[in-house]
């Protein structure tokens, strides 16, 4: 028995692919269903993350606007010349506010004929967001020097 060896000429290019059986072509139905399920789950998770991020961004924006409004109310209602004790209420846009001015202490300087008044100022803001009532409170201490008569 003689052996015959067939050699290909390298200039002829690659060998033709081996014949495939009909079962090995394409994807099976099970593979397509698994891939579709995985893609669907990933899409649902991504949509939930984006929704949460947008809601957090809107909440953050609401608190930023509330801080700006509280600072505006603080500046308008609590000028240094009018630090009399009391409580003031009002509304500006969608924000309700309450301003409380509470005297803390008083120092007298007999050599300068002055007294220093120190007051705690609290601004509480409330507003509606996402069907819930939100509250923000800022505090500061203001001092004022008065001539003793």
Average pLDDT over residues 32-40: 96
Q: Among the listed ranges 13-17, 43-47, 72-76, 88-92, which one has the minimum average pLDDT value?
A: 13-17
Confidence band (pLDDT; 50, 70, 90) for 85?
confident
- For residue 125, the cross-strand partners are 97, 136
The model's pTM: 0.62
pLDDT for the residue 126: 94
What three-state secondary structure class fits 20?
coil
Indicate if the pLDDT at residue 80 is higher than 60.
Answer: no
Nearest to 142 by CA among 95, 86, 104, 113: 104
| Residue 70 in domain | yes
Total domain count, the chain = 1
| Residue 127 in domain | yes
**Which residue segment(s) compose the domain that 99 sits in?**
27-147
Indicate if the pLDDT at residue 17 is higher than 60.
Answer: yes
Specify the CATH number for the domain of residue 122: 2.20.25.110
> Over pLDDT 70: what percentage of the chain?
80
End-to-end alpha carbon distance in the chain: 134
pLDDT for the residue 10: 61
């Amino acid at each position: 028995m003689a052996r015959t060896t067939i050699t290909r000429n390298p200039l002829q290019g690659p060998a033709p692919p081996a014949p495939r059986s009909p079962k090995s072509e394409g994807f099976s139905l099970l593979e397509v269903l698994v891939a579709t399920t995985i893609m669907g789950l990933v899409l649902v998770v991504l949509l939930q993350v984006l929704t949460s991020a947008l809601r957090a961004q809107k909440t953050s924006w609401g608190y930023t606007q509330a801080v700006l409004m509280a600072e505006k109310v603080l500046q308008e209602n609590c000028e240094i010349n009018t630090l009399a004790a009391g409580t003031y209420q009002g509304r500006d846009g969608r924000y309700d506010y309450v301003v409380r001015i509470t005297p803390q202490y008083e120092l007298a300087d007999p050599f300068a004929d002055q007294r220093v008044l120190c007051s705690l100022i609290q601004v509480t803001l409330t507003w509606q967001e996402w069907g819930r009532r939100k509250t923000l409170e800022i505090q500061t201490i203001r001092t004022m020097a008065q001539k003793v008569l």
